[in-house]
Amino acid sequence: MIHSAQILAIYPVTHNVRRYVVEKPAGYRFEPGQATEVSIDRPGWTEKKRPFTFTGLAEWDHLEFTIKSYRDHDGVTNELWTLKAGDRLILRDVWGTITYGGPGTLIAGGAGVTPFIAILRRLHKDGNLAGNRLLVSNRAERDIILRREFEGMADLEHLWTLTDDPTAAGVLHERIDEEFIRRHVLDISRKFYLCGPDQMVKDLRGALEGLGASTEALTWEK
């Protein structure tokens, strides 16, 4: 089913990420970690679809998307940057395979953290964050999405690592790869949730399985 929904507000998150508050169509339901294909409801853009994760909670009276815009590409995310409150988006059916199945390690690359936002907000609100760990890789400190919010979740272990910002403090300066996992993930029997660039996810799946993680314990967008 297709819905046209009005943008209610837009807020900055980082230098290239914005939070879009969107009206919620009647009966529209989703689970934390799920997504939908979104188009911009303006001439020339209605059939240009991109998947975006819901980052709000299901009981909210509005929808929320936290979206990184790639300003050097003439695509949907760049066009989203030009929108304002009152403009409209086209929403489609809900889908997604990144669903929470118990405490574990959530590993994200850049904007790949977005499926974890609603999951962690849900666990935080319900008092069930204990036992979960968030590992996020970004290029620079200014790219970290919702750092303050995640660090304010008292029961959530978190670790930020940067690849191209050597002067940043309070973070690691490494790539998340097999060697990183050997040194920073001590319990390979945990569940693992992976989201990021396709090659990163593929490499991490191989690394985790090579280190003894069960295939059934790995969750990623299939």
Residues 134-181: tens digit of each pLDDT: 999 999 999 999 999 999 999 999 999 999 999 999 999 999 999 999
| % of the chain at pLDDT higher than 90 | 95
Q: Is the pLDDT of residue 192 over 90?
A: yes
Containing 136, the helix (H) or strand (E) segment is: strand 133-138
For residues 181-200, average pLDDT? 94
Q: pLDDT class for 189, splitting at 50, 70, 90?
A: very high
Average the pLDDT over each of 72-76, 137-141, 187-191 and give the range with the smallest value.
Answer: 72-76
β 88-95/35-40 pair status:
antiparallel
Greater model confidence, 76 or 71: 76
Tell me what pLDDT residue 74 has: 82
Tell me what pLDDT residue 179 has: 94
**Starting at the edge strand that comes first in sequence, how are the strands of the sheet with 62-68 ordered?**
50-53, 35-40, 88-95, 3-12, 17-23, 62-68
**Phi, then psi, of 148 in degrees rounded to 5:** -65, -40
Tokens encoding 154: 């008292």
Q: Is the pLDDT of residue 221 over 90?
A: no
Tell me what pLDDT residue 33 has: 96
For residues 103-109, average pLDDT? 97
Give CA angle at 98 (96, 101), nearest 5°: 130
3-95 against 104-220: fold identical: no
* CATH architecture of the domain with range 3-95: Beta Barrel (2.40)
Domain ranges of the chain: 3-95, 104-220
Output the CA–CA distances (angstroms, integers) from residue 118 to 66, 81, 122, 124, 164, in the order listed: 10, 22, 6, 10, 28
Q: 27: helix, coil or strand?
A: coil
**CATH label, 104-220, candidates 3.30.70.260, 3.40.190.10, 3.40.50.80, 3.40.50.300:** 3.40.50.80
Q: Is the pLDDT of residue 72 over 90?
A: no
